[in-house]
Amino acid sequence: MAHHQILIIGGGTGGIMTAAQLKRKDSKLDVAIIEPSDKHYYQPAWTLVGAGTYDYQKTIREEKRYIPKGVKWIKDWVTSLDPKENAVDTAEQGRLTYDYLIVSPGMVNNLDAIDGLEDTLGKNGVCSVYTDPNYVWEVLKNTQKGQAVFTQPAGAFKCGGAPQKIMYLAEHHFRKKGVRKDVNVVFATPGSVIFGVKDFKETLDKIIEERDIYFKPFHKPIAIDGPNKIATFEITDAEKAALEVIDTLGEKKIEGNILTMPFDMLHTAPPMRAPDFVRHSELAYADGPMKGYGEVDIHSLQNKNFANVFIIGDAAGLPTAKTGAAIRKQAPVVVENILELMAHQKLSDERYEGYSSCPLVTGYGSMVLAEFKYDNVRDSDPLISTFVDTTQEQYSMWLLKKYGLPYLYWNHMLRGRL
In the set 78, 159, 360, 361, the catalytic residue is 159
pLDDT at 241: 67
Read off the pLDDT of each residue in 332-349 and give the average, rounded to a whole number.
Answer: 98
SS3 at position 119: helix
Q: Are strands 272-273 and 108-109 parallel, antiparallel or unpaired?
A: antiparallel
Is a pLDDT exceeding 80 seen at residue 385? no
pLDDT at 196: 93
Is a pLDDT exceeding 80 seen at residue 315? yes
Do 336 and 127 form a contact (C-beta atoms < 8 A)?
Answer: no
pLDDT at 242: 61
Read off the pLDDT of each residue in 13-34 and give the average, rounded to a whole number.
Answer: 98
Is a pLDDT exceeding 90 seen at residue 181? yes
SS3 at position 378: strand
**Angle of CA points 21, 22, 28, to nearest 5°:** 135
pLDDT at 384: 76
Share of the chain above pLDDT 90, in %: 93
For residue 37, give Cα distances in angstroms to 32, 131, 256, 328: 15, 16, 45, 21
Q: Are strands 219-225 and 265-268 parallel, antiparallel or unpaired?
A: unpaired
Q: What band does 256 get if pLDDT is binned at 50, 70 and 90? A: confident
Read off the pLDDT of each residue in 344-358 and give the average, rounded to a whole number.
Answer: 96
Lowest mean pLDDT among 51-55, 253-257, 305-309, 406-410: 253-257
pLDDT at 381: 78
pLDDT at 156: 93
pLDDT at 243: 63
pLDDT at 380: 83
Do 231 and 224 form a contact (C-beta atoms < 8 A)?
Answer: yes
Mean pLDDT score across all residues of the chain? 96
Is a pLDDT exceeding 80 seen at residue 386? no
With a CB cutoff of 8 Å and minimum separation 6, the contacts of 175 are none
In the set 48, 126, 347, 358, the catalytic residue is 358
pLDDT of 211-251, one tens digit each? 999 999 999 999 999 999 999 999 988 777 666 777 889 99
Is a pLDDT exceeding 70 seen at residue 283? yes
For the full predicted model, state whether its pTM sits above 0.85: yes
What type of residue sits at position 175? R
Residue 127 appears among annotated catalytic residues: no
Q: What band does 63 get if pLDDT is binned at 50, 70 and 90? A: very high
pLDDT at 418: 82
Euclidean distance between CA atoms 317 and 283, whole angstroms: 10
Euclidean distance between CA atoms 379 and 131, whole angstroms: 30
Instruction: Give the closest residue to 232 by CA, choosing from 265, 208, 255.
Output: 255
* Distance spanning both ends of the chain, measured CA to CA: 35
Is a pLDDT exceeding 70 seen at residue 16? yes
Residue ranges of domains in the chain, CATH in brackets: 2-107+274-353+405-413 (3.50.50.60), 112-271 (3.50.50.60)
